[in-house]
Amino acid sequence: MNNNTLFQDIISALARDKTLMGMDLDAAREKLSPHKDLKRGLDCVVSFLDGLGGHTHAGGGSDAKPSRPAEWSVVEDFFTTGISLVLQEVRCRLDEDHDFAHTMAQLHTEITSGEYVADRAARLFRRLFFPEADFDPGDKDSEISRLRKKREVTITRENKHPVTNPASEIIFTSNALLTVPAAGTDPDSLGLSESIKAVVPQIMEEQQRYWYDHPVQLGTPPEHNEVIYGLKGLEEGLAFEEKAGMKDPATPATCLLSVSVTHEGLHRVARHYLQDELQKHANLKRLTVYVFTEDDTRRILDEVLLPACREMLGTDDTEMLIEVFGVDGKYGRHYSFLKAITAFWQVLVEPQTRGTFKIDLDQVFPQEQMVAETNRSAFQHLATPLWGADGIDTNGNRVHLGLIAGALVNEKDIGNGLFTPDVSFPSVDSYGESLFFYSPLPQALSTEAEMMTRYTGQGGPDGESSCIQRIHVTGGTNGILVDSLRKYRPFTPGFIARAEDQAYILSTLFNDEDEGFLRYLHRDGFFMRHDKEAFAGEAIKAAKIGKMIGDYERILLFTHYCRALPWSVEKVKDVIDPFTGSFVSRMPFTVICMRLALKALALLDSKNPGEGVVFLQQGAARLLPLLREFGSGANPLKEHVARERQGWDLYYDVLDAIENELYEKDDLALALKKKALSIIEDCRV
């Protein structure tokens, strides 16, 4: 029996197995057959599984079924393309990897036998396609200890000039995600200004360009608007710091807010909308907020950075700087901006700026609980000499802790204490889609081993002479010192649509071996409370399917991004496994296609089967171009990453040049500073 037949037999056996599939295909076919679109969705998936199993499949591509609507032709094309890519990928892996071939043979014996153990079969599936989850959850304590030990850092030098006054030295940043009202909403019912209300209907007719987890819909009631919620929460946190003596009442903190939109037309109304909402519903006395739209970032380029490139660096080759510096687009672009803008701030606005700390707007500092459980407020956590310290990791590498990361606790769990993981180990095994990708296991492991670490000094780090470095971080609750930012120049590529926080450190993972690799300091007990489910339920529900598809895109993008880095994938994964590295797959096409197929079946067989149709059509439309792009053999991200790095290098080079000329009192530099201050003032709300 050849290797291809092994895989085909496994898929055929899987499709017939009610337990491992998590459903009965025959029963589903009978239930869905009266419903045209539901039956079409089921037929597309079954044809895909038949094709992988070596059987004649009835689906075919769009050429085979020209009478079908375009949205179903895309689904068919996705699965037809997927069959070819999956079989090729499996064949190559079997030819090149003896252990993989051996495990495939084990799974074949297990699943095609008359009797098998479901959990054992599931473990073999994951060993093949998701090895990051190949451990026994019953032995999680030893896995947690092992990962913590791997993350340990021995401090060799504390930061001699740590942050001491976070209110004036730290720039807080966040991103406002805006989208259109729900379909069928009457604009007159939203309480919008007349100028915004007049253009909302035509914006709602536009094609959506970008997808975010839970964007704020125009007209969202203030109690459910996370921009208002997050900024008011930060304001309350600052009030606490004043009482604790960690903030001067006369000095407001600074918050830079970028604005990213899902539809092109929202550009015209975003600033006006946010200004209206903040003025009406957020009484911010301790916080100065600056709002940056794509138009504002373009002004910074056109009026400050590009003239400086031309006159000080002697270059007009600024295309890549223009491409990377902005806030519209996928998550990676605005995430990099929110870090990078603080270097601009230090050079041209406020020289005493020492660092930046990003929050998500559905999170707040649980100040009273932090003081009660850790004896430190948020600002006291930030004012540590370990942020910016140097050390040696367990492999003997020098590391520089120029980044800092806290942790999250869910609002519903905080009554159990701060150190309550926001992701827990699953209590039972899972089948269906989870056979090919089971992120709850490595995510729970990383959450426990990294985010929940306490510096007790009892058989582990003490938080003074030793600590742990963080790889698993969240979009909020992390920061970087500006000096480290300007030296290492990390960025998240603009093609990253999800997990931009996880991708950020990859760009500089092994840079500057002599000075030390840039790493995150884990600050134990430094928490933000995650409140999204308490107030943003409708936004989360509206973004559910888009978020799921984005998770699949993440696998293709992270995998090929890591293949585009100047280090081997094995070396990178040795650092970023288990959770961050789980999205860097050795079998990305197989994982993506099987996940989409099995998830679609689960949705079609659910109480809301219409979600399965939407999921299939949107998923195929978004993923098919990526399958074709990455399935061609070449890795297009390699050149893309190099060009983005070139853009960010130019950004930091020109800031260095401006800073040097300001020191010399150069007329042009002084004029650019005046222009920068004018733009910044226009952004203040």
Concatenated DSSP letters of 317-344: --HHHHHHS-SSSSHHHHHHHHHHHHHH
258 has which bridge partners? 175, 292
Cα 312 versus chain centre, distance: 36
Residues 163 and 354: beta-carbon distance below 8 Å: yes
Residues 303 and 630: beta-carbon distance below 8 Å: no
Q: How far apart are CA 558 and CA 504, in angstroms?
A: 11
Contacts 24+ apart (CB under 8 A), 123-128: 125/20, 125/435, 125/436, 126/435, 126/436, 126/438, 127/103, 128/100, 128/103, 128/104, 128/587
The backbone region for 235, taken as left when phi is positive above 0, alpha when psi lies in -120 to 50, beta otherwise, is alpha
Q: How far apart are CA 330 and CA 247, in angstroms?
A: 35
pLDDT value, residue 3: 65
Can the peptide bond before residue 252 be classed as cis, meaning omega within 30 degrees of 0? no
Q: Which residues of the chain have pLDDT under 50?
A: 57-65
pLDDT value, residue 203: 93
Q: Which residues contact 164 (CB under 8 A, 6 or more apart)?
A: 383
pLDDT value, residue 187: 84
Sequence spans of domains, the chain: 1-129+543-635, 167-358+641-683
Residues 254 and 664: beta-carbon distance below 8 Å: no
CA angle (72, 78, 82) in 5-degree steps: 150
Q: What is the pTM of this model?
A: 0.93
